[in-house]
Amino acid sequence: MWYDYTDLAFSPYNEYRRQMRRICVVELLSAKNVKSFGSIRQDEVSILIKSIKTLLMFLSGCRQMGSSSFPSLTTTSKLSSLCMQDMFSAGKETSSSAIDWAMAELMRNPRVMEKVQREVRECLKGKEKDIDVKGLKYLKLVVKETLRLHPPIPVMISVWAMGMDPETFQPERFENSCIDFLGSSFEYLPFGAGRRICPGVNFGLASVELSLAQILYHFDWSLPPGISFPDVDLTEQEGITVSRKNHLFLLPTLYINPSH
């Protein structure tokens, strides 16, 4: 697909690309298809949450049975690394990169973390399936603000430079704004604009919002000892997608719903 620029992302704008884009949108990325994949997304996110819970229970059991038998598991960085690698194994893909950036920004801004977790836990209380993120308004603002500060692929134009003023991570800036992801607002172009806009906008947003909502609902997150909120590294890595250069090490704590 990469030969002679025949893939969808890097092909020149011509009749071939128009047909390729039309096929992708109609057969895979239309709003109807994205909605039909909702149960699959929920199943995959449930598997992710279950794997983190299982890992935490296993490590907790190992410590109770005798930490001397498992010296490597007593290290904070090991626990963090295992959890985050399991969560963000596909770090070069735009959706997982967006979640990674969102978690990093939330850890640097505890006020925002507390506010978005409170919303998620109030809206998703008691819901294991059929989770609808439409009511998570503040979570959507967090995703918007994350993509403003860390656009996935600033290749053709420096959308990073356009959107970095102000630099503060403040999701409330979009609260009473009509700015959207569709490329009509030229001060905000995380997915591009015009005929070259990313055809998978709806697909990517659905994956990011659902995953982030579940991660924030089921776990409380903290930084390893000795690291403060401003110390969270936001250095970017060079590549096709704008991912974080260094791994994000966090400590998850299982959230127990008081009503259960």
234: which 2 tokens? 């936001």
Residue 219 in tokens: 């776990």
**Sign of the dihedral defined by the CA atoms of residues 95, 111, 138, 255, in that order:** positive
Q: How far is CA 30 from CA 153, 163, 168, in A?
A: 21, 28, 34
Beta-strand relationship, 236-237 and 243-244: antiparallel
Q: 24 a known binding residue?
A: no
Question: Cα separation of 200 and 186, whole Å?
Answer: 19
What is the C-alpha separation between 56 and 253, in angstroms, rounded?
Answer: 8
Annotated binding site for heme: 198
Binding residues, as ranges, are 198
